[in-house]
Amino acid sequence: MTKSVSTVDVIAQDEAETLADVGVQIRHDEPEVRSATYVLRDHLPLCVQTYREGLEMLPIAEALRRYDWLRERYFWKLISPDQDEVTRQVAAESEPQGYFIWVRQGTRITRPAQAGLFISHEGLAQKLHNVIVLEDNTELHLITGCTTGRAVRSGHHLAVNEAYVGANATLTMTMVHSWGPEVIVRPRAAVAVGDHSHYINNYVSLRPALDIQSNPRTYLNGVGATAKYMTVILGSRGSIIDTGGEVWLNGEDSGAELVHRGVCTGGKMYQRGFLVGNARCRAHVDCAGMLLDPGEDGFIESVPGLRSFHPEARMSHEASVGKVAPEQVEYLMSRGMEEHEAISMIIRGFLDADIEGLSAELDARIGEIAAMAGHGEHK
Amino acid sequence: MSSATGNILEIHDLHVEVGGKELLHGINLAIPEGQVHALMGPNGSGKTSLMMTIMGFSAYKVTRGQILFDGQDITGLSVTERARLGIAIAQQRPPTIAGVKLRAVLDYIVAHDSVSAEEIADLVRQARVEEFLDRDINAGLSGGEIKRAELVQLLATCPRFSMMDEPESGVDLDSLALVGSLVNRLFIRDSCRPVRRRSGLIVTHTGHILKYIEADRAHIMLDGRIACSGNPHLMLQTIAESGYAACVCCVVEGDGYDKVS
């Protein structure tokens, strides 16, 4: 466990509030609610704290110096530095930035760890490389909050995320993004999942950036491995948001469920979900979009896809795009709700539909999206 | 406080279009404060349209005429504004809304109205809607369940003027007694303002509901008009004996009793 000054001493109040909007809680009783905290402002790690035995969270550069095996076995092993322009730019950094998380064998952690990635200067480019290693029989929930300072309009967030989940382990990644209106966001993520392990990927975008591409790839390599993606996006005028992900079902009896819920209040929104069946498996993609007020050129494009290499791969997809029905809005108004309250409740329901066991964090963020969409604050 | 005329609801020469087609052709109707009226008539005669128009649903476009509530012209008001004045409706086929639970609507009412969480909990128990509190609102419910769910919401908001679209349709006999007692509770005594009965309008085909709630007056609608008005029991009896055909004759011959001009 690292011991140093408390996070509240190094993070200013206004920045703590901005981070709180994306699920990162900087507070005196942090160890009561979080198992570890890492905050990066621009290029500077402000704090790294871990509050649990068996869990390490370090700046990646320090971790690479400390553990030779990190470079040998995990660093750039799921994603190639030559994959595209984003990975090349991240690989070109002389000293990599980002975090390393290591959960040692047998460590099951109920309180979430948190990483806050924060751009405080106009036009700044963050280039990050994060690596997560969960050994066998472990469990971790990581909340990653990515955001810009309130006055910041533009910037670049480029990230390479590699995660390794051993056997009988569960990794839950909840990513909450809230960006300035001209920020370009390019995470490139890959996750490898072992025998009887589970990977849960939640992605929520509150304040949409100019341009987001986030389609993490999961390799379900282990027997009985599963993945569950939940993507909730609010799109607004002028933005291009391309989110979802793909899952490669390589292990026998692996399974995946990809759910995408998008509310479009302008801008271009692509909902993706791609399954590759390489073994006996079961998987389903479900994309649903609500076109609230697309403006002149806004749209939702749903792109669920299946590729099967195995006769016993049972895969399916569904997609739908619709609007908020006036009779539903007026039904709720007839109980005394204002129009925006009724729309919020319907959007909230649309986003919640079919999601069971939503974490409190995610639940709160989805409530915010619904309220914003209902109020028309996106305009 | 009621209007100078003592009418909680007054409708003058109301013409209403749905999808460009006129469905109501000059309705005149007055309901005094404290009275409950029944609305009868064959399918497609405009009963539901009249109620939906009074509530202010945007699909029902008023092209001429006026609706006064408690003396105030509400013809241009939104559904929300009308609801907050105390107008409420229990629809026959309310929409289902994916992900929106009956509980969420009741929670909203508790947060914004004077009703307490305990009172709602009692209501929920009495109306036997516990089991679908956490299901999508109105989804997969039987006729009787829909009525109970709608009535719980109405009872929670304590409306001054309640409209009900065929509260007995699709309800089995056991359930009818429960629905009837809930309807009765909505009207019989004003828990918000004691000693006065609250007002309303009930669409009924069979009149079964009138065993539970005494109507002061009934109106028969034919082809988008109120064809005649009178004593509810007498009118039900006539309809039971000879159907609405008798009403049609009556209107054609022009000797309908108590005919609205």
Separation between Cα atoms, residue A270 and residue A257, nearest integer Å: 18
CB–CB contact B108 A326 (8 Å): no
With respect to residue B152, please indicate whether it lies within any of the assigned structural domains. yes
Please indicate, yes or no, if residue B213 is contained in any of the structural domains: yes
Residue ranges of alpha helices (H) inside chain B are 47-55, 79-85, 102-112, 117-126, 143-157, 173-187, 232-253
Q: Quote the number of domains for chain B.
A: 1
* SS3 label, residue A335: coil
DSSP lists the bridge partners of residue A219 as A192, A248
User: Cα–Cα distance between B218 and B31 in angstroms, integer?
Assistant: 11
Split into its structural domains, chain A has a count of: 1
Task: Kindly report the nearest CA distance between residue B99 and chain A, in angstroms.
Answer: 4
Confidence category of residue A14, pLDDT binned at 50, 70, 90: confident
Chain B hits for A338, CB-CB cut-off 8 Å, are 80
B49 at the A interface (CB within 8 A)?
Answer: no
Instruction: Answer yes or no: are the C-beta atoms of A141 and A174 closer than 8 Å.
Output: yes
Exposed/middle/buried for residue A223 (C-beta within 10 Å: 0-12, 13-18, 19+): middle
Q: For every one of its 261 residues, what pLDDT tens digit does chain B have, with 9 covering 90 and above?
A: 446 778 999 999 999 999 999 999 999 999 999 999 999 999 899 999 999 999 999 999 999 999 999 999 999 999 999 999 999 999 999 999 988 999 999 999 999 988 889 999 999 999 999 999 999 999 999 888 999 999 999 999 989 999 999 998 888 887 888 999 999 888 866 555 555 688 999 998 888 888 888 899 999 999 999 999 999 988 888 888 888 877 777 766 654 444 444
Distances (CA, A) of B214 to A9, A141, B181, B259: 71, 61, 12, 22
Domain-located, residue B260? no
At residue B184, what is the residue type?
N
Q: Is residue A248 over pLDDT 90? A: yes
Where are the extended beta strands (E) located within A278-343?
A: 281-291, 299-308, 313-322
CATH, residue B170: 3.40.50.300
Number of H helices, E strands in chain B: 7, 12
How far is the C-alpha of A251 from the C-alpha of B69, rounded, in Å?
A: 67
Q: Do B83 and A335 touch (CB under 8 A)?
A: yes
Asked, for residue A369, whether it belongs to a domain, the answer is no
Q: What is the pLDDT of residues A323-379, one digit of tens each?
A: 889 999 999 999 999 999 999 999 888 887 555 555 666 677 778 888 877 776 443
pLDDT digit string, tens, across residues A146-191: 999 888 999 999 999 999 999 999 999 999 888 888 999 999 999 9
d(Cα B126, Cα B113) in Å, to the nearest integer? 20
Q: Say if strands A182-193 and A217-220 run parallel, antiparallel, or are unpaired.
A: parallel
Kindly state whether B134 is in contact with chain A, defined as any CB-CB distance less than 8 angstroms: no
What's residue B1's pLDDT? 47
B3 contacts B68 by C-beta, under 8 angstroms? yes
Instruction: Identify the sign of the CA torsion A57, A63, A69, A71.
Output: positive
- Write out pLDDT tens, residues A84-95: 999 999 999 999
Q: Choose the closest CB to B57 out of A330, A353, A354.
A: A330
Q: What is the pLDDT of residue B208?
A: 85
- Looking at residue A118, the DSSP 8-state letter turns out to be E
Classify residue A119: in a domain, yes or no: yes
Whether A3 and chain B come into contact, CB under 8 Å, resolves to no
pLDDT at residue B256, as a whole number: 45
Check if A301 contacts B (Cβ < 8 Å).
Answer: no
From A332, A341, A350, residue closest to B99, measured CB to CB: A350
Give the three-class secondary structure for A79. coil
> Residue A32 has which token pair?
């009561």
> How close A5 gets to chain B, by Cα (Å)?
42
Q: What is the 3-state secondary structure (H, E, C) of A131-183?
A: EEEECCCCEEEEEEEEEECCCCCEEEEEEEEEEEECCCCEEEEEEEEECCCEE
Residue A358, pLDDT score: 57
Q: Is the CB of A352 inside 8 Å of chain B's CB atoms? A: yes
Tell me if A35 is assigned to some domain.
yes
pLDDT per residue over A93-134, tens digit each? 999 999 999 999 999 999 999 999 999 999 999 999 999 999
Please tell me if residue A349 touches chain B, with a CB cutoff of 8 Å: yes
Q: For residue B181, give its domain range.
A: 7-253
A332: in domain: no
Q: Is residue B259 part of a domain?
A: no
Tokens of B186: 């909505």
pLDDT for A2 equals: 47
Tell me if chain A has a CB within 8 Å of the CB of B120: no
**B53 vs A contacts (CB less than 8 Å):** none
Asked whether residue B261 is domain-assigned, the answer is no
Residues A72 and A63: their CA atoms lie apart, in Å, by 12
The answer to the question of residue A101 being in a domain is yes
Q: Which residue of B has its CA nearest to A333?
A: B80
**Which residue from B minimizes the CA distance to A327?**
B95
Give yes or no for residue A232 having a pLDDT over 60. Answer: yes
**Domain-located, residue A15:** yes
Select from A329, A335, A338 the residue whose CB has the most chain B CBs within 10 Å, as the one to mutate to test that interface: A335
Q: Choose among B89, B97, B112: nearest Cβ to A336.
A: B112
Partners of B99 on chain A (C-beta within 8 Å) are 346, 348-354
Considering only the beta carbons, identify the residue of A331, A337, A339 that sits closest to B94.
A331
57-116 of B, contacting A, C-beta below 8 A: 57-59, 78-80, 82-84, 88-89, 91, 94-95, 97-101, 104-105, 108-109, 112-113
Q: In which domain, by residue range, is A224 found? A: 7-324
Give per-residue pLDDT as tens, A250-267.
999 999 999 999 999 889
Between A208 and A45, residue with greater pLDDT: A45
Give the pLDDT of residue B252: 66
Q: Is residue B258 part of a domain?
A: no
In a domain, A316, yes or no: yes
- Domain presence at residue A367: no
- Residue A159 vs residue A236, higher pLDDT: A159
pLDDT tops 80 at residue A235: yes
